[in-house]
Amino acid sequence: MAEEKKGADRFGTVALSEDGRSLVIIDQTLLPGEMKYIALSDQRDIREAIYRLKVRGAPAIGVAAAIALYLAALEISESAPQADEDEFFRRLEAAKIYLQESRPTAVNLKWALDRMYRHALSLKGAGAARIAASMRLEAEKIRSEDVDVCRRIGENGLTLLKKGQGILTHCNAGRLACVRYGTATAPIYLGHERGYDFRVFADETRPLLQGARLTSYELSEAGIDVTLICDNMASSVMQKGWIDAVITGCDRVAANGDTANKIGTSGVAILARHYEIPFYIAAPSSTIDFETETGAGIVIEERSGDEIRKMWYREPMAPETVRTYNPAFDVTDASLISGIITEYGVLRAPYDVSLKELRDKIEAEKRKEGDL
């Protein structure tokens, strides 16, 4: 069951409860009208929260999934403490698959679940209770890593910007999409702390309005100069010379540098190219899918047409019977991207080369740490 948990700003966007028995998230479907934390312990509630976007943003989904699989392990170990390990892992894998099916495009979801499951497998023979306890530590490690990674993305992104610049962003790749800082907004937050006086323009991001409900909310709450615009106004503000750089997040980076992000991102990238404005993607390395060669191989989630027809209106604004097409994401071609900002630095084209070099670097680090 879902349990309300108010206040508790110390939790950030997503966290494990202090007693280690529930996932604590901000219910983002209620923003900006109401800030409410909810505690979820049932796997069905957690999966529904991910699908219904109560928790959203690729990094935050990854952290939530890691905590969710730990909670599944805890439940399995406590419900059948005498069961053999084969039964434990069978049920744990089923929970992993169940959670993974909630959102198909954001690779962080699969990345976190795979990492947690591999960690559990590495402890085979230790017993279900000990495995679950160790999975808690791994989930908390993934969460703390997200904070560090986003801050490093912010530092790297800030090297691309100058004081007083105008920055356009799309959707929400801010604090609410991660544990803290955000990805695309991390340079904005760090710049704000250091007196850069950025002027931020936030696309409303239809049909779910993450830019309006979330980005404009969190940036204005932080005291950052932010102006909300409709999606179809991006060309106008660029034409006026108000935009010096575009920074967006992303949900998946293919091996050639194509990126999947919230629907409308590719259009912004095309406009930026026309107006000769640099277009940057902010992406933690966990968002890079080296197994998918190009953006054509990225599965794009399609959502209910009701999000277009009637979700934000007192009465339906389109005929109930009208055909709808509602993809949650689109793919931006690598040729339109000026740089991919990661925690390791800013990658430049050709991305098939720079991404491979990054992969080699990450694998070398893992070997050094004994993780491979």
pLDDT tens digit string along 6-50? 333 445 899 999 999 999 999 999 999 999 999 999 999 999 999
pLDDT of residue 9: 42
Please state, in angstroms and rounded to a whole number, the distance separating the CA atoms of residues 235 and 108. Answer: 31
What is each CA distance from 110 to 214, 272, 294, in whole angstroms? 24, 31, 18
Active site residue 251: yes
Mean pLDDT value across the chain: 94
Percent of the chain whose predicted confidence (pLDDT) is above 70: 96
Structural domain spans, the chain: 2-150, 161-369
Amino acid of residue 305: G
- The enclosing H or E element of 37 equals strand 37-40
Average pLDDT over residues 339-346: 98
pLDDT tens digit string along 83-118? 788 999 999 999 999 999 999 887 899 999 999 999
Cβ within 8 Å of residue 130, ≥6 positions away: 123
Is the confidence at residue 55, as pLDDT, over 90?
yes
Is the confidence at residue 325, as pLDDT, over 80?
yes
Average pLDDT over residues 148-162: 97
Give the helix, strand, coil percentages of the chain, each rounded to 5.
45, 15, 35
- Specify the CATH superfamily of domain 2-150: translation initiation factor eif-2b, domain 1 (1.20.120.420)
Average pLDDT over residues 177-201: 96
pLDDT of residue 7: 36
Is the confidence at residue 284, as pLDDT, over 50?
yes
- Is the CATH number 3.10.20.440 carried by domain 161-369? no
Nearest to 288 by CA among 361, 359, 360: 359
pLDDT tens digit string along 202-232? 999 999 999 999 999 999 999 999 999 999 9
Amino acid of residue 254: A
* Residue of 27, 146, 231, 251 marked catalytic: 251
pLDDT of residue 372: 60
Is the confidence at residue 326, as pLDDT, over 50?
yes
pLDDT of residue 68: 98
What is each CA distance from 328 to 19, 94, 256, 325, in whole angstroms? 35, 26, 22, 10
Q: E strands within 237-372?
A: 245-248, 252-254, 259-262, 279-282, 288-289, 329-332, 339-342, 345-347
pLDDT of residue 371: 64
